């Protein structure tokens, strides 16, 4: 063991990953893995990109490519708007 304390996000990700194979469990408890598990995965679930279906007590995870494309385009549009706002704000400050 490395002696480093794990963050709450890492501990939470480790608990959430208990049903995954050992290599993925280990990845989930790293700082980057915890970020993905605690932030990105719930966002993908909420947007419908990833769905979890339970059959006879066994979970199966599905990835919806069409939904991912739609969400990706929406995120891209929002990023372009945000970049334009920042550019406009910086331009107006430089004009003063």
Instruction: Copy the structure tokens of residue 76.
Output: 């891209």
Q: Residue 64: which pLDDT band, with cuts at 50, 70 and 90?
A: very high
H helices of 3-94, in order, are 8-16, 22-28, 31-35, 41-47, 65-94
Stretch 53-77: mean pLDDT, rounded? Answer: 92
pTM of this prediction? 0.61
pLDDT given at position 71: 94
- Residue 2: pLDDT above 60? no
Q: What is d(CA 78, CA 96) in angstroms, rounded to the nearest whole number?
A: 28
Stretch 14-28: mean pLDDT, rounded? Answer: 82
54 bridge partner residues: 59
Instruction: Copy the structure tokens of residue 63.
Output: 């990835």
């Amino acid at each position: 063991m490395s002696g480093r304390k794990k963050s709450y996000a890492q501990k939470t990700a480790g608990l959430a990953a208990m049903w995954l194979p050992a290599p993925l469990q280990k990845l989930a408890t790293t700082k980057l893995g915890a970020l993905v598990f605690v932030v990105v995965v719930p966002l993908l679930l909420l947007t419908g990109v990833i769905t979890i279906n339970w059959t006879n007590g066994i979970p199966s995870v599905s990835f919806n490519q069409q939904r991912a494309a739609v969400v990706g385009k929406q995120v891209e549009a929002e990023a372009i708007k945000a970049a334009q706002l920042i550019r406009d704000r910086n331009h107006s400050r430089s004009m003063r």
